[in-house]
């Protein structure tokens, strides 16, 4: 399904601000897999997602989606296969356009946009059916600008929009991080429903270890631009929040020691 092979990305190359955001990351995700990506701040988890989405081109390595090499594809071209929800609830919707126009835009994701009517009456009824299960009373406010809605409502709609046409790959970039806990829980419920309904292949970046433990069937942990842990199958099912916390602690302790000292210590202790 998705095969990432040795991708590398360095930002601000050759300056004092040089950041090696991805240091040779490889990842293979099967059809219908739901993968959670965890990691410390600056570990490269969002960079990994953006590399797949095409926000920038990687310096090295290849990204293959559905046996198609998309490494050199532009962001908008990749959108044909990829649905996305962003961390910022304002990024996923056009605030000054109505709810139904936003939904109509999503119904054309990756398709040719010609001179056909942008908002056919037949679609409007379908949109009502689509937003009804959200229980946000949006079905009567479809002509209102989306910018007037709360962050949670906008994020729920962005989810609907990203999955309206079944994407080959769904990318969720900490999409509940900016929401209050109650709203976040609602959006996570919706995420789970939509993903299991269509068996969507999903890559979800999250800060919440609870989410990672509860959701999905695989956890990847990133640190300093590399994948350091990868739990699948029964390993993933056995994993608890405390286990993840101790792994994070371990990574943090390693960081505190100078690399030279670390290798010295290794010689003594291993």
Binding site for other proteins (CB under 8 A): 53, 74-77, 79-80, 84, 86, 90-98, 101-102, 104-106, 108-111, 113-119, 143-145, 147, 161-162
CB of 74 to other proteins, least distance (A): 7
76 or 238, CB closer to other proteins?
76
The tokens describing 51, both together, are 């590399």
Nearest residue (CB) to other proteins, 89 versus 225: 89
Q: Judged by CB, which is closer to other proteins: 38, or 203?
A: 203
Is 195 within 8 Å of 161 (Cβ atoms)? no
Residue 118 makes CB contacts below 8 A (sequence gap 6+) with 101, 104
Q: Which residue has the tokens 């797949």?
A: 52
C-alpha 188/C-alpha 169 separation (Å) is 17
Distance in angstroms (rounded) separating the CA atoms of residues 158 and 181: 18
Least Å from the CB of residue 9 to other proteins:
19
Q: What single DSSP character describes residue 199?
A: T
CB of 110 to other proteins, least distance (A): 4
Smaller CB separation from other proteins, 80 or 207? 80
State phi, psi for 120 to the nearest 5 degrees: -65, 140
Distance in Å, CB of 178 to other proteins, minimum: 15
């Amino acid at each position: 399904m998705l095969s990432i092979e040795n991708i590398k990305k360095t930002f601000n190359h050759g300056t004092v601000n040089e950041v090696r955001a991805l240091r040779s990351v490889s990842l293979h995700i099967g059809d219908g897999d739901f993968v959670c990506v965890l990691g410390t701040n600056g570990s490269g988890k969002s960079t990994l997602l953006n590399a797949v989405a095409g926000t920038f081109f990687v310096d090295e390595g290849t990204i293959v989606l559905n046996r198609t090499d998309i490494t050199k594809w532009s962001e908008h071209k990749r959108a044909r296969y990829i649905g996305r929800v962003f961390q910022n609830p304002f990024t996923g919707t056009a605030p000054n356009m109505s709810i139904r126009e936003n939904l109509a835009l999503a119904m054309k994701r990756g398709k040719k946009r010609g001179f056909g009517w942008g908002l056919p009456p037949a679609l409007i009824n379908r949109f009502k059916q689509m937003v009804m299960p959200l229980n946000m009373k949006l079905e009567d406010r479809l002509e209102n600008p989306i910018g007037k809605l709360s962050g949670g409502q906008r994020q729920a709609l962005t989810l609907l929009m990203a999955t309206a046409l079944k994407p080959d790959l769904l990318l969720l970039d900490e999409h509940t991080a900016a929401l209050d806990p109650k709203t976040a829980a609602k959006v996570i419920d919706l995420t789970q429903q939509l993903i299991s309904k269509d068996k969507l292949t999903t890559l979800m970046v999250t800060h919440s270890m609870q989410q990672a433990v509860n959701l999905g069937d695989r956890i990847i942990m990133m640190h300093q631009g590399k994948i350091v842990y990868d739990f699948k199958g029964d390993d993933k099912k056995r994993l608890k929040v405390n286990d993840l916390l101790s792994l994070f602690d371990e990574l943090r302790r390693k960081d505190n020691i100078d690399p030279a000292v670390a290798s010295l210590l290794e010689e003594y202790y291993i």
